[in-house]
Every structure is written in structure tokens, then in C-alpha cells.
Structure 1
Amino acid sequence: MLDSCRWLAPEVKRPDRIGSFYEEHLSVPVAADSDRERVLDVGGGSELRLRRPDGVPRGGLHTHYALSCPADAYERWFERLSAAFDLQEVDFGSMRSLYFYDPAGNCVEIGGTDDVQGGGEPTLSGLFEVVLEVESLPDAEEFYADLGFEVVDRGENRRRTRLTTGAFDIELWEPHLGLADARGGVHVDIGIGTADPEAVAGAVAGRTTKRETVADSVRIRDPDGHYLTLLG
């Protein structure tokens, strides 16, 4: 019942300055702008919502997240970004990913997905992963599995779990430094598409710490303080 990640909200002090960073280095267009948020279109129906910490829900701090790009555009992205950043690269076999940091301390990953082709241009095709820091990995894993995610991978030392909707992954991390010294995000706020927001929220009703209706969506807060807006 869960679908793709519609948006991720990183917390930044100056949305205009951090927005300019992304506009310069990733050539992403501004979709909306206000005193609190600058919204960037990162392709595939996904947005980055750069948000000032002056309301609730806040955005996520030091969030590690991944953007997909066409497989045939990956080398172009590497060449372009290596001129400005000391990139770290990981070969996962089915795809390669590069890692760098934005000025707010978020670890940005760009992965060349095999199932997307884009004519070789350095374009982006959406958000495919967000990492959340959690206190109890077994409890968080159970919560997200009941929400509708499927467990697809666990770390050998049980410090992380990857779950998927089929279109979008969440990684749950106990506090530690991961690839590229990334950390899981705290009080992350994300929007996820679903055919039935009420039913999805109802599946975890006894464990959410907050629930409210926002327009035609349902916003819940998990036991670790992360907000999920379930968008119909």
C-alpha cells in the first residue's frame, strides 16, 4: 500500500543559502519558496524541502539520503561533482554510488540505478533512500514492517536494517557512523505516497506518538520522533 517518497525535509538555518548550493551543484529547479521553506524538484516526483527550524514538524538533522540518477548519467555526475568535492564512491555490484556533504551536514548520495536510462545527461530521477536513526532497531523494524515496508537486508552486526516499499527504501540505523561517515537522521520529516493513508496509519495506531489530519493526508510520528506524512 506504500509507494514512493514524495518529499524529504532537511532542517537548515538558511533555506536560501542551502537552496543555492543545490541549485548550483545539482541544477535542481525551485518548485516553491517561502520564509520557512525552499522546495527543490529532484526528479521522479520527489522534492527536497529545505526547512527553517521555526515550527513543528522540524526538518531532519544530518540526514543521509540517496538520489537516483540514470545509470548512463552516473559518470557525468562523478566528473562534475569531483571538481568541487572529495567524493567517496562505493560499488554495490548492481550500481555505483557517490557521496558528498552539503553545507548543513547532510550526507548526499547519488546512485546510478540500472533500470533508468537518461541519454547520458546528468539528471536526477528522485529519492530512493532515507536513513533514520533509531534507539531500538528491533522495535523500529517491527513498526515499519507493520506500516507496510518489507525487510530486504540486515547488517551482519545488526546495527542497521533496510526496508522497502518496492519504490523507496528506508534504512534504520542504531547510532553509528556508516558509509562516508554518514549518520542516520534525527526528527526526520518525510512524505510517502499511499493509496489509503487512513488504513496505513491505523496499522500502527497503538505505537504512534502523534497523529493528525493534514489536508487529504495523515501525519504520524513514530516512537523515535520521526514524522511521516502519508499522502493519498
Structure 2
Amino acid sequence: MLGSCGWVALEAKHREPVVDFYRTDLDLPVVRRTETETVLDAGDTELVIRRPGAVPRGGVHTHYAFSIPSGEYETWWNRLDSTFELVEAVFGDARSLYLDDPADNCVELGQRDIAGPGIDGIFELVLEVADLERATGFYTDLGFEVVDRGDERRRIRLTTGELDLELWEPQLGIADGRGGVHVDWGLRTDDPGRVIDRVRERTRAAETVEKGIRILDPDGHYLTLMEAQPN
């Protein structure tokens, strides 16, 4: 069974302005630093800001969505609107605001049924793929479920129930967001070994790392399957 997002790594040529954006404007505390990366606490998810120089790299122009409590939406909008060019989208009864970080990632803050306060986890991640049907087959075999297809089948939304994964052929979305390139991310699961066996023959690489089993998918994204911690 697949669960929530453990982390997402973003690449930044100039790391400190990006870290300052997340720390100051979005209130994410820094939890650790190394020479090459800074890790911020986004509640259920870690956000990693990484300087290029090694593999896996962080994602470039990645669109992803943070969860915020429904009742905090207006507060966040009023706080950010004076500094950033915001875009709003409505999905049923939920609203989302979009803005760009200093590294040109499209960041979404979306209303979710969470207690808060503040940001608590990533509920959506968008990956750019070359062959939509190939990528969809890979991730559905991994354990994701298809819930929506976009116009002309150029965009497919999948879910674990806790994380929505969107696969996009190269395109611009809401607020000119784009799917991330060479994204490095983590996904919680109750049995990483069993999950990887479903797609092992189609991965470009697979190895055991400190946090779990890391695979390289057909489009060059690194995914680490992490052992979910018991409640």
C-alpha cells in the first residue's frame, strides 16, 4: 500500500534566496543543513533545497501543492498578495493559490481538511514525462490509481489516497506551472521491497539507500520508496 509524500527535493543555483522564501514567506523551519542542501520542515513532508553538483539532483521548475487548513486560506492570500503575483483556482469547494518561488517552481497552497496551523505536507506533485501512457503504466503498476485524464490525454492524475501524482507531457498549466524535470522524491509504503518488484524490470536503476529503496523511473525521476512508520 502506498501512502504520503516523504520529501521533495528542488534544485537551486542560488540556494539561500530560495531557502529564505520558504523560511520567511511560508514559515517553514530549517531542520538541517549540509554543504549542498538545506532541509525544511513542511509538516508531514520535508522540502529539500539542493545545489546542483551530484546525482540525484533536485527537480527543476517543479509544480507541487502544500496543504493548508481551509480556514487559513484568506489569511495566506492577504499575507502573500502584497508581495507576489498570485493566481487563484477553485476545485469544487476548495480554493488554491499559486505563486512562484525564486527558483521558478510553481508553489500551490491548497485548502485541505487538516488541523494546522500552517502548512502540513505536500498533497500533489507534478512530473514531466515524455510518454504519458508509458509513465501511467509504470505508476499504476507501482500502486497508484488513475482518477482523472486531461484534454487530449496530455495530463493524467493518479493518487495513493494521500498523495496526488500528476503526469504531464511538456506543457504549461495553471499559473504557467510545469511538470518537474529530474525530480527526486520520497514515498511512504508499508513494504518497499514488494512494491519495487512490481516495476523492477522497467526501472532504469534500483538501489538500497539509507531511507529505503531508490529507483530511477523511465523519465529520469528518482523515487525512494520509504518504510512507513507505524502510528
User: TM-score w.r.t. structure 2 length?
Assistant: 0.96
Hey, what does 1:175 align to over in structure 2? 170
Q: 1:201 offset after TM fit, Å?
A: 0.9
Hey, what does 2:95 align to over in structure 1? 96
Cα distance in 1 for partners of 2:223, 2:93 equals 29
Q: 1:17 offset after TM fit, Å?
A: 2.5
Unaligned runs of 5+ in 2: none
Q: 1:24 offset after TM fit, Å?
A: 1.1
Hey, what does 1:85 align to over in structure 2? 84
Look up the equivalent residue of 2:96 and give its one-letter code: S
Hey, what does 2:140 align to over in structure 1? 145
Q: 1:216 offset after TM fit, Å?
A: 5.0
Residues 32/75 of structure 1: CA separation in 2 closer, same or farther (3 Å cut): same
Cα distance in 2 for partners of 1:150, 1:47 equals 24
Cα distance in 1 for partners of 2:26, 2:123 equals 16
8 Å contact kept, 2:192–2:212:
yes
Q: Write out per-residue CA displacement over residues 60-99 of structure 1, whole angstroms, 9 at most, x where no aligned residue.
A: 0000000010001111111111011110000111310000
Cα distance in 2 for partners of 1:143, 1:167 equals 19
Hey, what does 1:54 align to over in structure 2? 53
Q: 1:156 offset after TM fit, Å?
A: 2.6
Query: Is residue 207 from structure 1 mapped to residue 205 from structure 2 by the alignment?
Result: no
Look up the equivalent residue of 1:175 and give its one-letter code: P
8 Å contact kept, 2:211–2:224:
no
8 Å contact kept, 2:17–2:102:
no
Look up the equivalent residue of 2:175 and give its one-letter code: A
Q: Write out per-residue CA displacement over residues 76-131 of structure 1, whole angstroms, 9 at most, x where no aligned residue.
A: 11111101111000011131000000110100000011x2244xx5x111100110
8 Å contact kept, 2:106–2:177:
yes
- Give aligned pairs, total: 227
Moved more, 86-95 or 12-21: 12-21
Matches within 5 A, 1:55-74: 55-74=54-73
User: TM-score w.r.t. structure 1 length?
Assistant: 0.96
- Counterpart pick for 1:158 among 137, 153, 165: 153
SS state of the match for residue 153, structure 2?
coil
8 Å contact kept, 1:72–1:117:
no
Cα distance in 2 for partners of 1:199, 1:76 equals 43
Q: 1:214 offset after TM fit, Å?
A: 0.3
Look up the equivalent residue of 1:111 and give its one-letter code: G
SS state of the match for residue 200, structure 2?
coil
Identical-pair percentage:
56
Cα distance in 1 for partners of 2:211, 2:85 equals 43
Q: 1:34 offset after TM fit, Å?
A: 0.8
Look up the equivalent residue of 2:50 and give its one-letter code: R
Look up the equivalent residue of 1:13 and give its one-letter code: K
Cα RMSD (Å): 1.0
Cα distance in 1 for partners of 2:151, 2:171 equals 14
Moved more, 72-81 or 15-24: 15-24
8 Å contact kept, 2:188–2:226:
yes
Hey, what does 1:7 align to over in structure 2? 7
Residues 219/94 of structure 1: CA separation in 2 closer, same or farther (3 Å cut): same
- Counterpart pick for 1:225 among 204, 220, 224: 220
